[in-house]
Structure 1
């Protein structure tokens, strides 16, 4: 390499800067879109910063907030525990807080490949069971009815239990839809298409209104349990189609190689096919998880308040009435934080599994 070429290589911008430059200004269309976005940000950001930061009231009463003219973050400080834990008794907030830490801790450990061992299944069941017992006021305390559960622990519990409970059912539905037995395949197709053909809110209404009418006299199921089972069934239908797409992406040669090694059907699926299929659909599974995490807001139709609805109802307090922008903004930041963390984890896990394949 000549001295001029070496000097040009040292003076050239780094590769990621070149990618940014080409993406933003690589064509007239890209340049026009970039300039339009800059103009939009220049128009929207200054008033937003004035409202959210410069003119905001960080402490004080509701009257002081109204006089400030900006956002009332003092309202969030006053109502934070209610937004996070809902109607749970204030003197027992350590229970939902511990349940929240337990769920988040298990989610972090379960997301690391080094902990992907058979022991994670009972560990996950123990984490979910422990969170339920803590929210229920057990052991050693007065039982807390499920209609007083709420806030962020309830949101995470519904989302985590929905995803983990739906996964084995989704795998069975996906395998059944690809089965050579016509009756099994038809039954799985009907379950998947029916559940995917109705909105989640309709499934929750069925679980709330129709299921109690179908139960024998004297038998009842808690409305939170009915809602959780409805979410599991709903998620399993969508997850089954994602898993089926991964199964179709596995080359036929993998099936033939497993058969040549003497593996049976279930051995082939467990050791050869499913690990490859699930690896290819990680982004889709994470996207589904984010969607279910956000869709838990629909449980308000059965009288339960997740974190979005506790934020909304906190602004109905006569002493702090009207601060809906701050309430919804705080809830939006919570949802955004969890969703961005999940999407970044998806990208990291995809790179990790690709390099270790």
Structure 2
């Protein structure tokens, strides 16, 4: 499990938080991956960590809460997916393994793919999905028979619309491939180059185009979209007071207080949060110990300890830990002008 990236596309949130721990429906993205790994029958997990290692170790612990045995593997710098395999060599030994990117989200888990891998045991098994703009991904070209013919990392002129999903299954043959690599133009050891080496040297590389939903939650838009998808599966629970109107699937976790508000689900309200005189619209996740007062918000994620007071209206937003959002003080409307001689100005208000 890779959890060492810096999350540049999610700054400023990731200046202070690991991107893999940002919540989807009030649960860190990383947890969904760990649960998918567990559900596939795997029990031993090495988590590759970087600068955010203490935060990830504090939250995940020894893995026993997930039914897993977790070991932490230090990667001093994010030098590519293949580099993560290189630094994990001692942990992996000669075992087959799954490499799972910790900020990826796959509906339906990975169990069908691990079963297929155990049955056929190719040198590598990759998962693909069709994307509108492949230039942002590792791209795979298949031949007329559907076999993997070529791979490129973030090509300027993609040869297909098939992008690599962030889950890979390997036999120990991948170590021989990684040992041959030189840093790419990005100064990284590219997993696409390693898999290409397997293809070129006659190893079997199988692929499957996934039919379910997949997202790399590397930016705010993708985080909000995954949050929307997960919230659609909520089972309502919890209570609000009689002054509230609740429509649709709403979860109010234990210890949350909701008064004088209108909630249109799917919505989740975390433990210890207080919502008063507000509107919570569809696809909104409010984490624990937040305050939402006299405000309106929908299609948004609010992280632990944030407060929103007297604000209308917030949409499609990601609000960080302990953030404080308030109404700006009212000031007189005025125009400030510096006009040259003989100017002619028309002002509509």
- The reply to whether TM is greater than 0.5 is no
- Structure showing greater Rg: 1
Structure with the larger strand share: 2
User: Which TM bucket (shorter chain)?
Assistant: under 0.3
Greater fraction helix: 1
* TM-score, normalising length: structure 1: 0.23
TM, length-normalised to structure 2: 0.23
Larger relative contact order (CA 8 Å, sep ≥ 6): 1
